[in-house]
Amino acid sequence: MEPSEVQSVEAEPKLIWYVLKVQTNRENSIRKSLARRIAREGLEEYFGEIIIPTERIVETKGGKKKVREQKLYPGYVMIQMILNDETWYLVRDTSGVGDFTGAAGKPHPMDESEVERMLGLEQQKEDEPTKVKIEFRVGDVVKITTGPFETFEGEIDSIDEATGKISVLIEIFGRPTPVELEYHEVERP
């Protein structure tokens, strides 16, 4: 290879995704701290995105619906970077960062399928409706708290997290009958 060919190959290093182990519940502040340090050191060309994968969850407390972000992987941050001694030290020396994931302390890049799934989740998050956090499972026995079937007990037959509706099988005239309810209209007996 001629020297000019070597330079062109090395001139285009690729940003690769890595996973960082960080202190739980400090993911956002650690992400901001990393971004500040990268800018301060002038290493923006070696770094891409820093992502904390989340999903939106709808909860009902006191009869009011509340949407909140829930981390998919608490204690982990995904970072896109070119790994060299300088960038490795900058990341490792940031307060709250434990280490890169990988074997024996050597940073191990994410598989392409993992990256696609993670980035797909981020794009879907904007497109799809929020999920409703339902603390029941199919097969649980619940008591209906409102409506014409108040005080009836039954078994959960199906759950739709997208709409927050559940189907409960209650016994009417000796036969199991499905009743569709909002998830907050039932409680554990």
Q: What is the mean pLDDT of residues 80-102?
A: 89
Residue 38: its pLDDT value, please? 93
* CATH architecture for the domain at 141-187: Roll (2.30)
Taking Cα atoms as reference points, which of 20, 23, 39 lies closest to residue 95?
Answer: 23
Q: Which residues pair with 156 in a beta bridge?
A: 168
pLDDT tens string 131-164: 677 788 899 999 989 888 899 999 999 988 777 7
pLDDT tens string 37-75: 999 999 999 999 999 888 777 777 766 777 778 888 889
Tally of CB atoms within 10 A around 9: 9
pLDDT above 60 (res 126): no
Q: For the sheet containing 175-182, what is the strand order?
A: 175-182, 165-172, 153-160, 141-144, 186-187
Instruction: Answer yes or no: pTM beyond 0.75.
Output: no
pLDDT above 80 (res 103): no
Residue with the two structure tokens 């191990």: 108
pLDDT above 70 (res 166): yes
| AA letter at 17 | W
pLDDT above 50 (res 111): yes
Tally of CB atoms within 10 A around 136: 16
Residue 70: its pLDDT value, please? 82
CATH superfamily assigned to domain 3-128? NusG, N-terminal domain (3.30.70.940)
Report the helix count and the strand count for the chain, using DSSP H and E. 4, 12
Average pLDDT, the chain: 82
Domain residues of the chain, as ranges? 3-128, 141-187
Q: Are 36 and 86 in contact (CB under 8 A)?
A: no
Residue 11: its pLDDT value, please? 53
Residue with the two structure tokens 């490795």: 88
Long-range contacts of 31-34 (CB under 8 A, 24+ apart): 31/77, 33/94, 33/95, 33/96, 34/77, 34/79, 34/91, 34/94, 34/97
Residue 4 — pLDDT band, cuts 50, 70, 90?
Answer: very low
